Structure 1
């Protein structure tokens, strides 16, 4: 059985994806492929977490806005992983806990270790400004200590900067540039440990720091598949709904 890390960079539009020079270097070395996807609608975070992790459109899942805080009713990568007997993990915003593990209590659920949950090992945060650097370090510790077959790393600093300064601002770009260091440092470690890596975003960000609509800035997002498996997808047409299927193919779970 394969191992996979899915990195979800919240709020990063495709228009700034070229700032990630390390990923471009992997593409040029034929160690990865990149796609530009169009997010589903509405281009909002919680509905699109559900699309990415379950393959369902927001109007199908019923998660159509950010204020719907019930648990998902769909089969996700986490629930399928649990049924297949693999260990799952997430270092993610608390909305991920609400969708796939249930109601979130910050006093109790900041750390989760429970084999009965869809997400067996979780480290959850609730401040959008919680440092991406800490999230990569926490992910690395879970990888070393728990060795899950599937782990979601979900960062929020790009989205936070976009809302504060706009999707075409220097501040927004600066946070994307910072990700270069974390990716170039940790990806080789995780790949050496046997993990495949997939990277994407849920939605983009317009000039005024908004998303939810149908503009190019709000909807176009990048999607990378790294490593040798990327050659299997070079000439494949991919939509945001296909990410769940691709992750399950990599993990070899039904």
Structure 2
């Protein structure tokens, strides 16, 4: 059993208004008290790269300096990958290329970086993609390959098809909602295995999507996102307790058994 291993899943662009009715399997876990769900408000601006940095370092965009998607540089903050490496834990990610640029090497070079296996990097084992239409089904296979081959203590999984469909068809479209349903079905293949093996699993989103096929502002459909905590390692009686997007890094660290600042208010979320 993996008592102190964590999988963080980021479903890019999944707004609360769709997550609350389209993610049937995740909500089934909540109803059976194997998971709990919270509504978060993302930081501003509600853009992807700034919010990747927010989720993975606990720094909002004004503090981190990653203010928009075109800033291509290594993070100057201490990410969950760096915290894990300091503790001699193993890290891995199946994720969009911007994650590699933030925490491994910038700019991203697909030939060099798509398949990364380097113990000196913050993300030691990575399979990165660079097209928004890269299938979520393939991405989850990449993640499972990393998990079974390298047995990381912290695994980050980052899907893109929900966001891609939102940009193509809008946040109030069948395509967007069905992309959410599809990734929920895909997760239903993997979550039982990971739960059985004792992983603490966190599922969240960076931002939502508006009817104009975009995001970046402070409309509720852009800012409100879900946070699902899955597995026996979490206290599912803590539902209703407030949690913020900037606390996700420290929640991951605490779940890994790492000491972090300001963690007392997060302890109720762990069993």
TM-score (norm 2): 0.92
* Runs (5+) with no aligned partner, structure 2: 260-271
Q: Does 1:45 align with 2:53?
A: no
Distance, in Å, in 2 between the alignment partners of 1:138 and 1:249 is 26
Partner SS state of residue 201, structure 2: strand
Q: Determine helix, strand or coil for the equivalent of 1:116.
A: coil
CA RMSD of aligned residues (A): 1.0
- Counterparts of 1:52-63 in structure 2, within 5 Å, are 52-63=55-66
* 179-188 or 90-99: bigger deviation: 179-188
> For residue 223 of structure 1, what is the aligned residue in structure 2?
227
Aligned to 1:252: 257
Q: Secondary structure at the match of 1:137?
A: helix
Matched, 1:213 2:217: yes
- Mapped partners of 1:243, 1:217: distance in 2: 20
Shift of 1:142: 1.1
Matches within 5 A, 1:1-254: 2-17=4-19, 18-103=21-106, 104-231=108-235, 233-254=238-259
Asked if the contact 2:199–2:231 (Cα under 8 Å) also holds between the matched residues in 1, the reply is no
Q: Report if aligned partners of 2:168, 2:213 keep a CA contact under 8 Å in 1.
A: yes
Cα deviation for residue 230 of structure 1 reads 2.6
Partner Cα separation in structure 2 for residue 229 and residue 189 of structure 1? 15
Structure 2: distance between partners of 1:57 and 1:141: 32
Q: Is the 8 A contact 2:198 2:233 kept in 1?
A: no
> Structure 1 stretches of 5 or more lacking a match?
none
Q: Deviations over 1:201-220 (max 9, x none)?
A: 00000011110001001100
1:2-42 deviations in Å (ceiling 9; x for gaps): 00100000001001112111011110111111000000000
Structure 1 runs (4+) deviating above 4 angstroms are none
3-state secondary structure, aligned to 2:131: coil
SS of the residue 2:112 aligns to: coil
